[in-house]
Chains A and B, each alone.
Chain A
Amino acid sequence: MRQRGSTKRSNRYRAFRLILLSAILLTLTLIFLVSTLGSQRFGILHKLIFEATGPMQEVFSGTASYVNRFTREYVDLIGVREENKRLWKELQESRAAAYRNREALATNARLRKLLAFKESSDLPLMSARTIGKDPSHWFRTVIIDRGSSDGIFKGLAVVSDEGIVGQVLTVSPNYSKVLLAISPSSAIDVLLQKSRVRGILKGAGSLIFKLDYVLKTVDVQEGDFVVTAGYGGLFPTGFPVGVVSKVVRKKRGMFLEIEVKPAVDFLTLEDLLIIERERFMKE
């Protein structure tokens, strides 16, 4: 009896629930139809749904975009390392090319200057390149890439487009050692260009010449030009040597103490010219 009663109640409840759900579904359908096909108004239900799903959308789209961005950046990072390597290589190549270009330009300018000097000069000149420098503190010599097979022999004068450099000291078939004019063992006959007074130019081992044997009676001023005297035929007459930079008149002695600043920059000796004496003497 009791079981029959309970089954009856359950059937009734199920029917009620079915009716209720159907009513809700019908109502919602009606609301949807009315609001969608009817007034086309964005009603309260739409707004409610909108508000409810909006944050979810926000979270999902934010997460998606974060994942997307992270993935893209990570992939980019892998590519960046490769690109960085490539760019560094390119930069190094460009720098090397720029350096080579600058060097070529500088060499070109230097050789043009030397060529202009060679062409403008009446002297028989042979070009040479400095390939080595004396490493000792006590001597000032350089090695050049010309030797006896080029007609070079001991004593030939070596000059640059700026002035005198020195003279050939030792020779082998293809190379020679040049004693620089700033070497203490170098002595060259020179003239003070203005007064035409003769003196002996000696090296001091530094970037200064000493001009000896000029009498105190001679009027020598700082800035006076010193040129080669041309005695002995080693250097041609009137070749630039330097400029008087200091004149000391001591109470004792007959001679002035004169310092001469070289016309040639001995720190940047690269391309030199050798005066071929035999041809020079003939001419």
Chain B
Amino acid sequence: MVVAVFIALGLLLTVLQTTVLMVDPLWVAAPDLYYILVAYLAYRFDLLRGMIIIFPLSWTMDVFSGVVLGMYPAICFGAFFLLKGMSVKIPLRESLYQVPMIGVSYLVIAKIVYIGLSLFEQGVPAPWSWPAMLVRVGIMIILAFPLFRLFEFINKRLQRSFISYKVLHVRADNRYRPSENDEQ
């Protein structure tokens, strides 16, 4: 149920992003809502469920955007594994770094994908623009707070209704990292 709801939510976000939030085809301040969802999945969902949600989300983005198929799955899965890895390995309190990390990971993944595109599909992407990318990152960080709260709210409501999250939760390898209960 949680997976189905988050897939539907992802589709809704991509539709919003490609219609209402894109004022014109060259609109700079378009927020990448799909990426915020990917980040949330990386921080809060286990590997399997996160990947199941990301598949249709990235395919939808591939349909709506771009001319090279497979670009969005590369971005989404790249970001998912990067953020998941960091959330497990970095021994810091989550709230301190998780939202800024969305912006940093977005820039890193976007740059890697852009270099790949430039190498293998020369002349296909528009020139890289740091100001435009930074604007996008800024908007994403601003929107990450309310969207995370929304996702958290939905997730908790669904968890309460159905199977407990802890039953399906896969524990990280880092056993020395304090668990949520310890922090509380």
Least CB distance, A188 to chain B, in whole angstroms: 14
* Binary B-proximity of A175-203 (CB < 8 A = 1, otherwise 0): 00101101111000000000000000010
Structural contact, B26 and A206, CB atoms closer than 8 A: yes
Q: Which of B65, B127, B133 contacts A134 (CB 8 A)?
A: B65
Chain B residues in 8 Å Cβ range of A267: 24-26
CB < 8 Å neighbour of A143 from B18, B28, B114, B136: B18
Does B179 belong to the interface (CB within 8 Å)? no
Complexed CA–CA distance, A207 and B26 (Å): 8
Interface residues on chain B, number (Cβ under 8 Å): 30
> A204: which B residues are within 8 A, CB to CB?
126-127
Closest partner residue, chain A, to B75 (CB atom)? A136
Tell me if B46 counts as interface (CB < 8 A to partner A): no
Is the CB of A60 closer than 8 A to any CB of chain B? no
Within the complex, the shortest CB–CB distance from A48 to chain B, in Å, comes to: 82
Could you mark each residue 65-79 of chain B with 1 if its beta carbon is under 8 Å from any beta carbon of chain A, else 0?
Answer: 111000000000000
Contacts of B65 in A (CB 8 A): 134-136, 139, 141
What is the size, in residues, of chain A's interface with B at 8 Å between Cβ atoms?
A: 30
Cβ A134 vs Cβ B64 within 8 A: yes
- What's the count of A-B pairs with C-beta under 8 Å? 91
Q: Which A residues from 106 to 136 make CB contacts under 8 A with B?
A: 131-136
A205 within 8 A of B: yes
Contact B25 A142 (CB under 8 A): yes
Contacting pair B114 A138 (CB below 8 A): yes
**When the two chains form the complex, which single residue of A135, A140, A179 contacts B18, counting CB atoms closer than 8 Å?**
A135
B67 touches A137 (CB 8 A): no
B25 touches A134 (CB 8 A): yes
Q: Is B123 in contact with chain A by the CB < 8 A criterion?
A: yes
B125: CB under 8 A from chain A? Answer: yes
Asked if A134 and B18 sit within 8 Å, CB to CB, the answer is yes
Known contacts A134-B25, A206-B26, A143 near B129 by CB under 8 Å: no
* Chain B residue with the shortest CB-CB distance to A138: B125
Quick check: B126 and A140 within 8 Å, CB to CB?
yes
Asked if B30 is at the interface of the complex by the 8 Å CB criterion, the answer is yes
Is A133 a contact of B24 with CB atoms below 8 Å?
A: yes
Q: B126 and A138: CB pair below 8 A?
A: yes
Q: Which A192-230 residues have C-beta < 8 A from chain B?
A: 202, 204-207
Contact B66 A134 (CB under 8 A): yes
Instruction: Give chain B residues whose Cβ lies under 8 Å from the Cβ of A180.
Output: 25
Name the A residues within 8 Å of B63 (CB-CB).
177
Cβ-neighbour of B67 out of A133, A135, A183, A205 (below 8 A): A183
Nearest 10 pairs of A and B residues by beta carbon: A205-B126, A138-B125, A133-B22, A267-B24, A132-B18, A185-B124, A134-B65, A139-B66, A135-B30, A136-B65
